[in-house]
Each structure stands twice: as C-alpha cells, then as structure tokens.
C-alpha cells in the first residue's frame, strides 16, 4: 500500500486528561488512505535523540478535510517531546502503515475490547463501521484503564450510540474490573460475537485464550515497539502459528516470525504465540 513521508502541521492540540493528549494533523495524503487499525510513525525531534520515530495508532481520519488525529499517553522522552509541540509546528510523519482491520462482515454482533492506549484504532473501526451502515446496536464497546485519569475518551464514543461499557481496575470510573472481566461477562450472556481487541500484551493474551476456547472469530491489534516501520530492522517480530495450527495451544510446532509493522499490527485470533 502507498505511504507518505513528509512534514505535516499540527492544527489542533487537546489535553484530554493529565498526560493524555489528542493531536490533529493536516495531512491530506495520509488521511485519504488511512484505514482503521493502521498507524503512523512520528519523528519527535530533528536531532539524534530519540533516534527512532514512535508509532501511533490512527484515532480518526477526515478524508474531505485532509485531517487525521491520534490520541497518546506521555510515556517517555519521545512522547514528551511530541506533547511539547505547538499548534502550527510541523513534525515528520510516515504513513499510513500496517494492514488494518477488515470491515465487519454480515450481521454478527461485535465486541470492541479496548485497554488504555488500545482505544484509538477500535474507535476508528467503530466509527467507520457505523457510518457504513453497520447497526450501532450490534456493537458493544468496552473501554478500560487502571484509573479514571488513564481512560482514553474524548466524548466521541457516546455519539456513535453503541452499547458503551467503561471500566477501571480501581473502580474510579464505570464498573470495577478489567476489560477481560467485562468481556467474559458479556460473552457469558451472549456468546455469539466477533471480538476485536487492542491493548497491553497481557490483556490480549487472555482475550486470545478466551476467543479460542469459545471458538469465536477474533482480531487482535498488537502494541509493539516498531523502530523503523518498514520491516527492515525486525525489532517488532513475533512468533506466529501457521493457519492450520491456529486452533492448537501446542507451541512446540513449527512457527513463523512475522513483523508487526508490516504483517500486522492486526492478527487473527490464535495466530500469535504468546511468550
């Protein structure tokens, strides 16, 4: 797929909560091609520190306006530098990258399971699905984080009229519990679902086990460090099962190495071998 590499201006900067920001860029080429689940690589400085760009999931894209946005949490030096960028400043962006999600097919009920920074690609997928005619009442969106302050929410989710469930580990917002807890509860009431998930590796591993045990269809978007974004450095490689072995938990069989940046970040349930 075609990708673009250039300096693009920040046209809007919003602080959603302490340490969580939303940036909107004017980048017609990227906005015009962006699909839910894809990401961009942003170089947060023009010097040698930090050396590598940082990956950010695309939260939304407006093709007619030529805008796209990201939501991110300040973790270290790279995201701290980006957070200090001012409106109208230009930053170097490469994208869109990765395979993205396939649009939901049929009329099967969907569950979006978003843990913390995993919300952006699932919001984008939900928004596009509803806009393209998928019934909002067929979608359940679970948004979870450790605390209320760490929730990635800017008010747009509620506007999609899906069933929205918020949860936090400490109970400071929504239901007390994890995304995995809520997912298990939802599947107990209605197991015939297709599951889309994005979040920390530990959460994705548990969700993958649930999907396989219940023999459901599911798709997982991995969060990995992706230094180059082109698949050259192989710093984001993960072990995967060949298609014929995806229903098995025997990880001693033959495996393939796939690079998250070019072969993912979206993988089928049962495909990734979790360490």
Q: How many residues does the chain have?
A: 275
Mean pLDDT, 10 residues at a time, over the chain (275 residues)?
A: 88 93 97 97 80 91 98 92 93 95 86 95 97 95 94 87 95 95 93 93 96 95 84 88 71 80 95 92
Residue 34's pLDDT is what? 97
Global pTM? 0.94
End-to-end CA distance of the chain: 30
Residue 242's pLDDT is what? 86
Residue 113 CB neighbours (<10 A): 30
CA dist., res. 252 & res. 232, Å (int): 27
Give which of 76, 107, 71, 97 is closest to 1, Cα–Cα. Answer: 97
Q: What SS3 class is residue 145?
A: strand
Residue 155's pLDDT is what? 83
Residue 222's pLDDT is what? 96
Give which of 37, 27, 34 is closest to 223, Cα–Cα. Answer: 37
Residue 108's pLDDT is what? 86
Distances (CA, A) of 206 to 98, 150, 229, 274: 23, 21, 27, 10
Residue 66's pLDDT is what? 98
């Amino acid at each position: 797929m075609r990708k673009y590499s250039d300096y693009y201006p920040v046209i809007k900067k919003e602080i959603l909560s302490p340490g969580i920001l939303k940036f909107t860029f004017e980048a017609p080429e990227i906005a015009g091609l962006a699909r839910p689940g894809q990401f961009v690589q942003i170089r947060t400085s023009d010097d040698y520190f930090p050396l590598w760009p940082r990956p950010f999931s695309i939260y939304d894209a407006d093709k007619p306006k030529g805008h796209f946005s990201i939501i991110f949490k300040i973790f270290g030096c790279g995201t701290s530098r980006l957070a200090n960028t001012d409106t109208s400043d230009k930053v170097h962006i490469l994208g869109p990258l990765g395979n993205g999600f396939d649009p939901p097919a049929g009329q099967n009920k969907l569950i979006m399971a978003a843990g913390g920074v995993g919300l952006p690609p699932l919001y984008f997928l939900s928004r596009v699905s509803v806009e393209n005619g998928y019934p909002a009442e067929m979608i359940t969106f679970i948004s979870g984080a450790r605390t209320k302050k760490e929730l990635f929410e800017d008010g747009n989710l509620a506007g999609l009229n899906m069933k929205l469930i918020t949860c936090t580990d400490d109970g400071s917002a929504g239901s007390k519990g994890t995304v995995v807890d809520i997912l298990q509860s939802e599947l107990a009431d209605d197991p015939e679902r297709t599951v889309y998930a994005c979040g920390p590796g530990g959460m994705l591993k548990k969700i993958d086990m649930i999907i396989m045990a219940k023999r459901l269809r599911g798709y997982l978007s991995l969060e990995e460090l992706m230094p180059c974004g082109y698949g050259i450095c192989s710093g984001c490689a993960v072990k995967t099962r060949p298609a014929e072995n995806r229903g098995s938990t025997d990880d001693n069989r033959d495996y393939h190495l796939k690079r998250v940046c070019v072969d993912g970040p979206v993988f089928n349930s049962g495909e990734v071998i979790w360490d």
